[in-house]
Structure 1
Amino acid sequence: MRTLVAPGRSRTGYVVALVVTTVVLTAVFVLPLVWVVLSAMKPAVELARVPPTVLPETWTPGTYAEAWDMMDLGTYFRNTLVVAVGTWAVQLAVDVPAAYALSRLRPVLGRGILGMMLVTLMVPAAVLLVPTYMTIADLGLLNNPLSLWLLGAANAFTVFLLKRFFDQLPVEVLEAARIDGANQLTMLWRVVLPLSRPILAVVSIFAVVAAWKDFIWPLLVFSDPARQTLSVALQRFAPDTPVNLLLAGLVLSSLPVVALFLVFQRHVLAGLTAGGVKG
């Protein structure tokens, strides 16, 4: 924004441009969410009206409770929670030690290993679907949460973020712990992890949100309706469910991740900016 309107030359123009940009971006992101929330509280007949109404003429907030009961969303919330929490735990258990090893232990060919990890980010996910599915099927893990936990274990982007953060940790603190007789595992658990809470919050939110909203992979591995996640279940209910009830289900399924981000947004910003200025 400062490159478009210089504050020193035109303070008023700068403020106007900033306000307009903020309002436009807020409207782009917020208005669709508001429309979904309000549309879920309209009767199906009013929702199908052309042109559509902005605010409901007949408010039916009970649509949310009806959608919860009709689609048995409690079961799918529980399934999705198991998948998300398990994916988060397995991912941190694998990626934190891997990033620490690449950052502090500096193994032979460590840079090459990290480079090969990052190359996997350039491979389209669709290319890996068939071989991954065949592997999971051969292991007998279909309709098992392990099929999603293991897939999210080695995340190259998470390893990269963690390594970059570990690289910025004060060497003096680690040297002091080493002089006190701490081994590498003790330093990781008692020194590095407490100092890494901001970046751990960031990668935790990324892991939970990605697992919560994932659709293609759960659709492939969970053929049993009783074990499906929210995203898959809502898609299965879509053809035979009134639109207002389906919208209510979509709103309810989004609430946990929105609440998670609002609660931890300060940690997200701190984690993403940590280590940006070295001094």
Structure 2
Amino acid sequence: MTITLPRKKKRAEAPSGRTLVSPSQLRTRGGKTLYVIVFVCTFVAFTIAFLFPLYWAVTGAMKTPAELARTPATLVPQQWHPESFAEAWSQMNLGKYLLNTVVVAGGAWLVQLAVDVPAAFALSKLRPKFGNVVLGLMLVTLMLPAAALLVPTYVTVTDLPLLHLNLINSPTAIWLPAAANAFNIYLLKRFFDQIPDELIEAARLDGAGPVRTLWRIILPISRPILAVVSILTIVAAWKDFIWPLLVFPDTGKQTLSVMLQRVAIDLPLNLLVAGMVLASIPMIALFLVFQRQIFAGLTAGSIKG
């Protein structure tokens, strides 16, 4: 005679994470309504928080200087003056300074990738002796205030060691100090650490050296993190003010950020705001074009085998 014991009921699996509205409540009409209300309110609030400053700048550029300085401020211009953007472009010669900024930011981007990617690959996959010590010393530099590095860096670019070159009024004065970025190297190394070593070993067995492995294997699967590093590099070089102000005493070679500050006293307020809006358009367009790659790089934590 066999005795059959009653089976224990399986406990319902707990949800993987806490949510504002539980799954059981979402099945009800009230729960769905609450979810929609919370989602819409959150979406509208964040949209307003991010888009309102842009709206304020664009509409402020199309106001008259008197209306722009009025208190309390008007939310909508009483008279629209879209010609302010054309006047700002011509009076400030924005095309010339935009080209200067593109050269500075583009060169800084290329130089940083040329230095940071091989450095991160070497620290992650080649594992040189004292590599962790080198990485630690690089990360220590992130704790130094930027102002403390201005004087020694300026002395260096005025008399480049060994070559004895003066880099003032040259874009290389910005490219070279920005080449080895400890934060970008750390980001790239953390991503490269997730790449299976079996891929490196397979490439080595096929006769590929470190350079070929980096070019043919590592870089194609590292596009998300490369997009993130590229955006960080270009934005930092685009908006930098103190260092370009020091190394570009020639006003004809200055970047947009320096030029806008220099002409702020002499220009009407609406034209100055219009110039700032025009100067920000390339970065906004860059983000909109590469937003998928940026988000993919920010969320990349592992690589599926």
Q: Which residue, 255, 258, 267 being the options, matches 2:284?
A: 258
Q: Secondary structure at the match of 2:81?
A: coil
1:210 to 2:236 alignment: yes
Q: Which residue of 1 aligns with 2:119?
A: 98
Q: Which amino acid aligns with 2:40?
A: V
Q: How far apart in 1 are the matches of 2:94 and 2:189?
A: 38
Task: Choose the corresponding residue for 1:136, options 150, 154, 157.
Answer: 157
Matched with 1:28 is 49
Corresponding residue of 2:255:
229
Larger-Rg structure: 2
Q: Which has the higher helix share?
A: 1
1:5 to 20, 34, 50: 20
Q: If the length of structure 2 is used for normalisation, what is the TM-score?
A: 0.86
Aligned equivalents of 1:232, 1:106: Cα separation in 2? 42
The DSSP-based 3-state class of the residue aligned with 2:234 is: helix
Q: Is the 8 A contact 1:7 1:14 kept in 2?
A: no
Deviation (angstroms), 1:276: 4.4
Code of the residue aligned with 1:171 in structure 2: it is D
**Distance in 2 separating the partners of 1:35 and 1:272:** 29
Choose which of 274, 277, 280 in structure 2 pairs with 1:248: 274
Unmatched runs of 5 consecutive residues or more in structure 1? none
Does the CA contact (< 8 Å) of 1:168 and 1:278 recur in 2?
A: no
**By how many angstroms is 1:116 displaced?**
1.3
In structure 2, the residue corresponding to 1:239 is in which secondary structure? coil
Q: Given residue 178 of structure 1, which amino acid in structure 2 is its aligned partner? A: R
Deviation of 1:13 (Å): 3.9
RMSD: 1.7
Amino acid at match of 2:264: A
Q: Is 1:117 paired with 2:132?
A: no
Matched residues in 2 for 1:199 and 1:178: separation?
24
Q: What's the counterpart of residue 238 of structure 1?
A: 264
Give 1:117 shift. Answer: 1.0
> Which of residues 195, 200, 204 is equivalent to 1:178?
204
Which has the higher mean CA deviation after the structures are superposed, 14-23 or 111-120?
Answer: 14-23
* Distance in 2, Cα, partners of 1:110 & 1:6: 48
Q: Per-residue deviation at 1:242?
A: 0.3
CA distance in 1, matches of 2:20, 2:213: 49
Aligned residues: 278
1:127 correspondence with 2:148: yes
1:195, distance to aligned residue in structure 2 (A): 1.4
Find the counterpart in structure 2 of residue 54 from structure 1.
Answer: 75
Structure 2 partner of 1:155: 181
Structure 2 counterpart of 1:106, one-letter code: R
Deviates more, 1:129-138 or 1:200-209: 129-138
Post-superposition offset of 1:81:
0.5
Structure 2 counterpart of 1:87: 108
The match for 2:59 is 38
User: What is the one-letter code of the residue matched to 1:68?
Assistant: W
Unaligned runs of 5+ in 2: 1-16, 26-30, 161-165
The percentage of aligned residue pairs carrying the same residue is: 61
Query: How many angstroms apart in 2 are the aligned matches of 1:115 and 1:13?
Result: 49
* Residue 190 of structure 1, CA deviation: 1.1
Whole-Å Cα distance in 1 between the matches of residues 71 and 36 of structure 2? 39
Shift of 1:159: 0.4
Q: Give CA-to-partner distance per residue, 1:144-183, whole Å, 9 cap, x none.
A: 1111001110001110111111111132322221111111
- Summarize deviations over 1:183-241 as a string: whole Å, max 9, x none: 11111111111111111111111111110011111111111100100000000000010
Does the CA-based 8 Å contact 2:195-2:303 persist in structure 1?
no
CA displacement at 1:86 relative to structure 2: 0.4
Which is worse superposed, 166-175 or 35-44? 166-175
Verify the 8 A CA contact 2:124 2:192 in the aligned structure 1.
yes
SS in 1 for 2:70: coil
Pairs within 5 Å for 1:264-279 = 264-276=290-302
Matched position secondary structure for 2:264: helix
